[in-house]
Structure 1
Amino acid sequence: MLTYMEVHLYFTLPVLALLAFLYKPFFTTKDRFKYIFLCTVAFATASPWDNYIVYHKAWSYCPECVTAVIGYVPLEEYMFFIIMTLITVTFTSLTMRWTLPSFFIRPETPVFQSVCVRYIPIVGFLTIAAKAWASSIPDSHPFYGACILWYVCPVLALLWIGSGEYMLRRWKAVLFSIAVPTIFLCWVDQYAIARGTWDISRRTSTGIMVLPSLPLEEFLFFLLIDTVLVFASCATDRAHAIVHIYITPMNHNKVSTWYMDFFYLCWAFLQTDQALSGETLSDLDATWRILREASASFYTASSVFSFEARQDLGVLYGFCRATDDLADNNDVSVPDRKKQLELVRGFVRQMFDSKHGHPDIDWTQYSGSIPDSFIAAFRSFTRLRDVLEIKAVEELLDGYTFDLEQREVKNEDDLVYYSACVASSVGEMCTRVLMASEPGGNRTMLKWTVERARDMGLALQLTNIARDIVTDSKQLGRSYVPRDWLTSQESALLKAGKARELGDERLRQIALKMVYTADDLNLMASRAIDYLPPSSRCGVRAACNVYTAIGVSLHKANGYPDRAHLTKLERMKVTFRCVYGFRKGHQGVQGDRGKSQAFTVI
């Protein structure tokens, strides 16, 4: 005989533990709210409903199979309310976290269409609930099924108000999130009924079996309860996305309180898509289109971060990508590109002039000079004004100017200066975004963490340069190797696109000097990852270790490869190990460094 506690120990709890392990690296404070809120509501509503059902003998349990009874319901059944909620919500979160909720909020949808999509299902749900209420006569065959319907349908109607259209736009993920937990829980239910742990009364049910030992009402219960939980998860995700996009930028410098957060979520839940600013969302969409087209790797890799961090990192990276494209666009003359960069500098100064309130920027002055999609990225970028420091943004633009003016990297100081402009600045900005997007970071160590982030950016850029010596020479006729590391002949060969004529041994020696310097910088910089918010640490560690692995591959290579890289499988392995804690700390170059030695960064 199978006891109810054994059902949990053998089936539900192991599955919950597996899901918790898989989701732990992505867990955020927003998830904590979701779990606490949904578990509280589920327990508070299911407890009286289930007592009512058992009181009227719709289902019964084996007295020897339970540890205790509270009211009319076994202790294990109360546990089941929480366990089922956690299983379904965690599985739903794992399924849906890979795509930003903001992609499914569309203010441009016609109002008539929204009204129909929103209210027709609500009327349907409430009609079913009313008829079920009338049919839920104790000791009658429709009783159990009718009780399920009047318990669930009003909740579905309420949730449809706040997320109906949103869920229809991502219907595949919604159906998958409902189907998998439902199938699993129905199988557990069937197994337990077959072994006498609990039973469904024939007097208060239809007697229809979906499968042997699985009554129609039990299948309906798990299907509809899982639907409620998935709808609730979607409604919460949509509300959090709206708050983050429309409310958070105005409140960066205000102390957050739980009751204000709850108020904002309720406000967001009730907002129709048409009530939201369409320009804000279209600008975000334009920014992400830039990223999808220009950097599929970033677009994919960013999914390991929380929704909020991913949204803001995307905005930051979209600005960096847009400005980089302006500087690198060979279809535009160099003087015109310099003018465009001056316009960008003017925009940045305007953006930071007023530290609080909505930035007062005349966007028409950029029309015709800068592509519309880039202007959209700039508008999105203004949301980060209270998070970033102007110095880092201007430093990035200085790096573009360095390239536009074709300045020569004369010595190690020039190399460090250029790398700091194009990479340390980005490392600083990313760190500030991550610290602002999620509580839990060590803000008392912010200055030190930012400095280490700048070191990490410098290390990654040195690895980039070491990897691309031949590529930069062939494709750009450019060299970022310090001039005083080279002979006159070597320098001329690099500028002429003939880097290969330096020979593998010499190229390897030059590259490893930068790789070893990057490795030394990484050693200290990687320690700062532990001061970031918990939900960001694994993603940052994975990104850094992927780049570190490129340096390791250069160190291990025989000669100098044209472009050292990791295969997709290798990147996946590194990411998996970092995300799930199998690799922590510095994972750099090991073994004899030979003739190449790191240079000193001041």
Structure 2
Amino acid sequence: MLPTPTYLQFHALFVVPVVAALVLTATYRLGSRRDVLTATAILTGLALVYTTPWDGELIRRGVWWYGDGAVLVRFWSIPLGEYLFFVLQTAMVGLWVARFRVDTARSLATPVRTRLVGFAAALVVVLSGLALLRSDSGLYLGSLLVWSGPILAIQWLFGWHFLAGEWRTVAGGTLVPAAYLCGIDSIAIRLGIWTISKQYTTGYAIPLLDLPIEEAVFFFLTSLFVVQGVVLYVWLIDRWK
């Protein structure tokens, strides 16, 4: 029987080559190279700072764990590979969405009522998460929704109407990398690199992939954060010029 691949080997096989390919074939239709890369760098830093406490807490709670020999180095109970995932996923999505176009001619001026619609939508996400947290099976999904709420609130409060107008870019920029990440996540689970707790998940799975719905929601939301962040940054900078 072959040994369980390490987390770093997983990155070397499935993540690093994709990021490298995107770097080598980079196209900046969304905005200038400088603006896209600056936005991606800022979001990478935010991803590390904001995700680390949440991720570490769920690992300590046993929401997921890693196979024997899969983790070589940990920092604050979190594998090095996990930190690399935060960085590499952000880079992947940022470079991918850079290939799309947006019309930044729309004014930044937005009525307060319009902004509050975005805030209200984010609040619904948080309240849904809090409802799920009432049971053990809702721990992963509930905490994920509560954790995502503040990011969605900031982004949607600032420019949900602009994002809605650029829905093709937002959808294309989000769904393709999210689908790929779901696919390789399913492979990692089957290889035993990590295991998702049945106790703390709802039991719903993505057909064919047999991937817990929580994992799919995670990759969708985190990819969405990056896409929305880069798009809004480019819009803001273009309007300031």
Please confirm whether the aligned pair reaches a TM-score higher than 0.5, indicating the same fold.
Answer: yes
Question: Given the alignment of the two structures, is residue 141 of structure 1 paired with residue 122 of structure 2, yes or no?
Answer: no
- Match for 1:87 among 75, 85, 92? 92
- The whole-number CA distance in structure 2 between the counterparts of 1:25 and 1:119 is 32
CA distance in 1, matches of 2:100, 2:215: 25
Matched, 1:220 2:221: no
Q: 2:229 aligns with which of 229, 232, 243?
A: 232
Residue 187 in structure 1 maps to residue 187 in structure 2: no
Query: How far did 1:37 drift?
Result: 0.9
Shift in alpha-carbon separation, 1:130–1:25, aligned structure 2, 3 A: closer
Q: 1:130 aligns with which of 127, 130, 147?
A: 127
CA contact (8 A) 1:125 1:156 kept: yes
CA shift in 2, pair 1:119/1:54, >3 Å: same
Distance apart, 1:33 and its partner CA: 2.2
Cα offset, 1:119, TM superposition: 2.0
Task: Tell me what 1:152 maps to.
Answer: 148
1:121–1:163 distance in 2 versus 1, CA, 3 Å: closer
Instruction: Tell me which residue corresponds to 2:174.
Output: 178
Contact preservation (8 Å) 1:192, 1:198: yes
2:9 — aligned with what? Answer: 6
Give how far 1:100 is off: 4.4
5+ residue gaps, structure 2: none
For residue 166 of structure 1, give the secondary structure of its aligned residue in structure 2: helix
The 5 A counterparts of 1:477-492 are none
Give per-residue Cα distances to partners, 1:275-332, cap 9 Å, x unaligned: xxxxxxxxxxxxxxxxxxxxxxxxxxxxxxxxxxxxxxxxxxxxxxxxxxxxxxxxxx
C-alpha change, 1:169 and 1:131, in structure 2 (3 Å) is closer
**Offset at residue 31 of structure 1 (A):** 3.0
In the alignment, is the contact (CA less than 8 A) between 2:159 and 2:232 conserved in 1?
yes
Pairwise CA distance, 1:71 = 1.6
If you compute each CA radius of gyration, which structure gives the higher value, 1 or 2?
Answer: 1
Q: Tell me the matched-pair count.
A: 235
- The answer to whether structure 1 residue 52 and structure 2 residue 57 are counterparts is yes
Q: Is the 8 A contact 1:163 1:238 kept in 2?
A: no
Alignment of 1:337-352 (within 5 A): none
Amino acid at match of 2:92: I
Structure 1: any 5+ residue segments left out of the alignment?
Answer: 245-602
Compute the displacement of 1:91 (Å). 0.6
SS in 1 for 2:100: helix
Q: Report the CA distance shift for 1:25/1:157 in structure 2 as closer, same or farther (over 3 A).
A: closer
What is the aligned partner in structure 2 of residue 76 from structure 1? 81
Residue 95 of structure 1: SS of its match in structure 2?
A: coil
- Does residue 165 (structure 1) correspond to residue 161 (structure 2)? The answer is yes
Q: Which has the higher contact order (CA 8 A, sep 6+)?
A: 2
Letter in 2 for 1:53: L
Aligned partner letter, 1:217? E
On the 8 A contact 1:2/1:195 being kept in 2, the answer is yes
Partner AA of 2:124 in structure 1: T
Q: Which amino acid aligns with 2:201?
A: S
Q: Corresponding residue for 1:37?
A: 42
Q: How does 1:231-310 map to 2 (within 5 A)?
A: 231-244=228-241
- 1:528-547 residue pairs with structure 2 within 5 A? none
What is the root-mean-square deviation of aligned Cα atoms in Å? 2.1
Structure 2 partner of 1:295? none
2:203 pairs with 1:207:
yes
- Relative distance call for 1:25 and 1:124 in structure 2 (3 A) is closer
Secondary structure of residue in 1 paired with 2:206: strand
C-alpha distance in structure 2 between counterparts of 1:6 and 1:37, whole Å:
27
Determine if contact 1:194/1:213 at 8 Å carries over to the other structure. Answer: no
Alignment map for 1:357-436 (pairs within 5 Å):
none
For residue 178 of structure 1, report the CA deviation from its aligned partner.
0.7
- Whether contact under 8 Å (1:16, 1:87) holds in the other structure is yes
Say whether the 8 Å CA contact 1:133–1:146 is kept in structure 2: yes
Please give the alpha-carbon distance, in whole angstroms, between the structure 2 residues aligned to 1:124 and 1:217: 20
Q: Distance in 2 between matches of 1:220 and 1:24?
A: 28
Inter-partner Cα distance in structure 1 for 2:160 and 2:186: 32
Structure-1 separation of matches of 2:112 and 2:88: 36
Whether 1:20 and 2:23 are equivalent positions in the alignment is yes
- Could you say what secondary structure the match of 2:25 adopts? helix
CA distance in 2 between partners of 1:145 and 1:91 (Å): 26
Take 1:51 and 1:146, find their aligned partners in 2: how far apart are those partners? 16
Q: Is the 8 A contact 1:92 1:177 kept in 2?
A: yes
Q: 1:171 to 1:24 in 2, by over 3 A?
A: closer
Classify 1:166/1:25 alpha carbon distance in 2 versus 1 (closer, same or farther; 3 Å).
closer
Deviation sequence 1:558-601 (CA, Å, 0-9, x none): xxxxxxxxxxxxxxxxxxxxxxxxxxxxxxxxxxxxxxxxxxxx
Between the aligned partners of 1:199 and 1:234, the Cα distance in structure 2 is 34
My pick for the range that moved more, 177-186 or 157-166, is 157-166
Q: Secondary structure at the match of 1:54?
A: helix
- CA distance change for structure 1 residues 42 and 193 in 2, over 3 Å: closer, same or farther? same
Alignment of 1:317-356 (within 5 A): none
1:127 shift after superposition: 3.0
Measured in 2, the distance between the counterparts of 1:173 and 1:32 equals: 17
SS in 1 for 2:195: strand
Q: Deviations over 1:54-94 (max 9, x none)?
A: 01111111131122111221110110000011111111112
Amino acid at match of 2:133: S
